[in-house]
Amino acid sequence: MTDYFRNDVLIKRPYIQLHWCLAAIQMSIRREIQADDGRIRYWWFVPELRRYLRVVTLADGVTLHNAFPDRRFKP
């Protein structure tokens, strides 16, 4: 995980659980590559949140960079 993920995301959003992020990467319902920097976005439904979680990794597809409930996502 990036320093940003560790020091900002997890602190600002303490309800986000690491295993949700890993599940999003492994079992995503959608995956997109950002054209500008190659980062990869994953979406996965989290029943406990009753929302889709968007997880962003670096271009390697492994290093966690960001995660948040995506209110606007439509499957």
> pLDDT tens, 18-39?
999 999 999 999 999 999 999 9
Determine the pLDDT at residue 16. Answer: 97
Query: With 90 as the cut, is the pLDDT of residue 75 above it?
Result: no
- Asked if the structure places residue 62 within a domain, the reply is yes
46: in domain: yes
Please count the CA atoms within 13 angstroms of the CA of 70 that sit on its side-chain side: 18
**Average pLDDT, stretch 27-56?**
97
Q: Is the pLDDT of residue 51 over 90?
A: yes
Whether 42 maps to a domain, the answer reads yes
Q: What is the pTM of this model?
A: 0.93
More confident residue, 43 or 75: 43
Find the length of the chain.
75
Domain that includes residue 14, residue range:
3-69
Residue 75 placed within a domain = no
CB hemisphere CA count around 53 (13 angstroms): 26
Q: Is residue 42 a contact partner of residue 31, using CB atoms and an 8 Å limit?
A: yes
Domain count, the chain: 1
CB contact at 8 A, 53 and 41? no
**Average model confidence (pLDDT) across the chain:** 97
